[in-house]
Structure formats: structure tokens, C-alpha cells
Amino acid sequence: MAAPVSPLAVALPALAALPGVRFGATAAGIRYQGRTDLVMAEFAAGTTVAGVFTRNLCPGAPVDWCRAALSSGRARALVVNAGNANVFTGKAGAAVCKTTAAAAAKLLGVPTKQVFIASTGVIGEQLPVERITTALPKLHESLTENGWEAAARGIMTTDTFPKASTRTAQIGDGFVTITGIAKGSGMIAPDMATMLCFIATDAKIPAHALQRLLTRGVAGSFNATTVDSDTSTSDTVLLFATGQAKHPKVGEDGGRILNDFARKLDEVLLDLALQVVRDGEGAQKLVRIDVSGAVTAKSARRVAMAIANSPLVKTAIAGEDANWGRIVMAVGKAGEPADRDLLSIAIGGTWMAREGTVVAGYDEAPVVAHMKGHEIHIEVDLGLKSGKATAYTCDLTHGYIDINGSYRS
């Protein structure tokens, strides 16, 4: 049953306690017995929160719950379950969220609306909420500041390695920590890949400024990655700021004082997003695609994602084939301004096609060598204007078919 660890796995970093955050994990038997499937976090009073969610228009009930809860900008707890995504469950699904939040709120003595919820697992089955409410009291008692690693492992489903990232940032003359964990693109059951990411910092940052940083950071990290072009109904990124660190006051709008914090947050987000791609279903290679020379950054992004999502490009990479013809095809199908006769393409730093034709005397040898590695770099210059963007993906292999083409139960 257990899949081999991804060849692209990275080691779990040391995860120090972060003032104002306590984590715990347990097995609640939500779908399977004896498997950790429930994670809880408690945040210090005064914690602010920001969130970014799936763009899927059929989101799960927990996404609806979090979007509503986010309006106060305050958070005191997080409850995450695996085994059941609580998606396409109608009014009963919304009630499950409320019951879960109320149970956690009662244990902690905090407002129900300051409890955040995320679920991952099968779709269209009612979540047996009593298994969560039964397990919560003991889980609450086990919460600890040293619970980060347990949480990182506890939210794993068919992830083949735990995912975490941590950085120190400076705000004025004060130092703060940013630590995050993520899961995905593993599956439950198997069913649908879902990406969940939870980040905390001991910085004291107003919710409005926090949201601005998170939205911008996700655009350049999680929203610049794709495993298979499908968009889960449950994708969730939450960022909590406990305010326990000492540093100069940050205003409602943040501003320049947060420059270093923003940079380090972006690093944590990109690190976690790439770990998710590295654990993409069946992934054998991590692929970075840089598009330049587009008419706008938005146009460059669309071209980069068209390449990243092309099954023909992804299978060529799996076959270690430097098939730039398929990259030409993917550029053309993006529907963005492009001129075939200005197009240039490089793989692994070797420009194989320049301005619409193959480079004279093109030597495939260094490109073939590059294709055999675990990290593939594709560059496309559209030769039009200065718009640029980067996308990340993995290759498409038999492993993907094995994982997703087998029966659920």
C-alpha cells in the first residue's frame, strides 16, 4: 500500500517551538482505523489570520466556513481532518463544520468563529462528525509547543514525505520566525489531490497587512505550480500571526517595515509549494519553466502554465526527451500573443531554437544530459515585450496512472 518515497523528496528541517502556537495530532478513525487523521492547533489570544483558498467554484464546506470566519481577521484554533473532504455534502456538510468548530471553541473557551477548519479525503460522503468531537478533548490535552513535526506528519495522507519550511525574518530591530507545513498532492482513499498549507509566525501583524502579503506570496508560489491542471475543491493556505515576538509596531497596511518579512514568507511559501510538486503523484522530475518576452506578465503566466499543463510536454520529460517541438505546440495553444518566427527555446541553459528555427549546428548532447537529471529547466523567450513569469510542474509518468486509475475502495 505505502508508495515509495518520491525521488525528489527533501529532508524535514528542524522545527523549533513558535511562541503562541501549540499543535497535536491523533487517530480519530474518520475513514480508516489506526491512522493519524485529526490535527489541532491552538493560537494565543490576539492572533491574526489571513487565508487563500481554491478557485474551484464547487468548494467544500470547510472552505465556505473559513472564508466566513476570515472576516474578523482573528483566529484561536485550527482543526484539520483527513479521510473525508466534506465536499458535495449539502447542508449537512455545513453543520459538520459548525459542530466541529463549536466543540473546539468550547474546549478552548474561545469564539466558534475563530476556529478554522480544513478537510481532505473522499468527496460526496457525509463526514461522521461525532468521531471528531469524541477525539477532540484528548487531543486538546495533548497540545504542545513542540508539536510541529507531529502536525507535519499528521496532515500527510498519501504524501510520501512530510513537508515543512522555516525562516527567520527581521522586522525593524526585532527577529521573528515563520514556520509552515503543507500536504499534497497526495490523495485519500485514493480520491482527489488536495493541497493544505498552514503557516504561523510570532510576528504581530494586523490581519489586513497579513492578507496582502499572503495573497501576493501565493500568486508566486502555490498558484505558479501545477501537477495535473486539476483544481481541488479543498485547497487552503492559512497564515497565523500570534504577535508574541517583540518588534516595532506594524501599521494596518504593513508597508516597508515588512519588506524582509515578506521576502522570507515568500521563501517559505515557494519552498512548501515546490515540496508539494516534488511529491506530485508519480513525479520523477521537478520542472521549472521560465517564460520571458511576453506582452505582459499575465500573458507570460498563461504561456508558462500551458507548457506546465501539457500532457505531451510532461510525458516527453518523463521519457527524458528534449522534445522542443511539443513546447512550440504548447506555446501556440495557450492562445496568447506569440509569433512563431520570434520564438526561442532553451532546455538546461542550451538554446536549441532561436527566432523560429532550430539553432544551426545544435548539439543535443548537453540537453540530453540535462534531461537525465531530477530538475529540469525550460526557458522560452517569446521575443515580443518584457512580460515574464515562472511556473513549476512535475513530469507525467506511469505512477500517476497507477495512483489515479485504480479503484477507490
Q: Which residues bind a copy of itself (CB under 8 A)?
A: 55-59, 85, 87-90, 92, 122-125, 191-193, 228-233, 309-312, 315-316, 318-321, 323-326, 328-338, 340-341, 343, 353, 356-358, 396-398, 400-401, 404-408
**235 with 194: CB under 8 angstroms?**
yes
Pairing between strand 196-201 and 163-171?
unpaired
Cβ atoms of 26 and 205 closer than 8 Å: no
Of how many residues is the chain composed?
A: 409
Q: Taking the complex as a whole, how short is the minimal distance between the CB of residue 345 and a copy of itself, in angstroms?
A: 9
The residue (of 90 and 255) whose beta carbon lies closer to a copy of itself is 90
Tracing cell 466558534 back to the chain, one arrives at: 112
Active-site residue list: 194
Joined together, the cell numbers standing for residue 234 give 479543498
Nearest-5° Cα angle at 240, 50 to 170: 105
Helix, strand or coil, per DSSP, at residue 267: helix
Q: Name the one residue in this structure whose C-alpha cell is 505550480.
A: 225
Backbone angles phi, psi at 264, to 5 degrees: -70, -35
We find the least distance from the C-beta atom of residue 406 to a copy of itself, in angstroms, to be 5
Longest dimension (CA), the chain: 72
Question: What order do you get walking across the sheet with 48-53 strand by strand?
Answer: 48-53, 236-241, 196-201, 174-183, 163-171
CA distances from 230 to 42, 195, 235, 360 (A): 32, 11, 11, 39
CA distance 339 to 356: 8
Nearest CA to 249 out of 166, 169, 173 is that of 173
Q: Which is nearer to a copy of itself, 53 or 148 (CB)?
A: 53
Measured from the CB atom, the residue of 132 and 316 that comes closer to a copy of itself is 316
CB-wise, 298 or 340, nearer to a copy of itself? 340
Residue 9 or residue 329: which is nearer to a copy of itself going by CB?
329
Is residue 164 within 8 Å of 36, Cβ to Cβ? no
Comparing CB distances to a copy of itself, the nearer of 258 and 331 is 331
The amino acid at residue 338 is A
Neighbours of 102 (CB within 10 A): 13
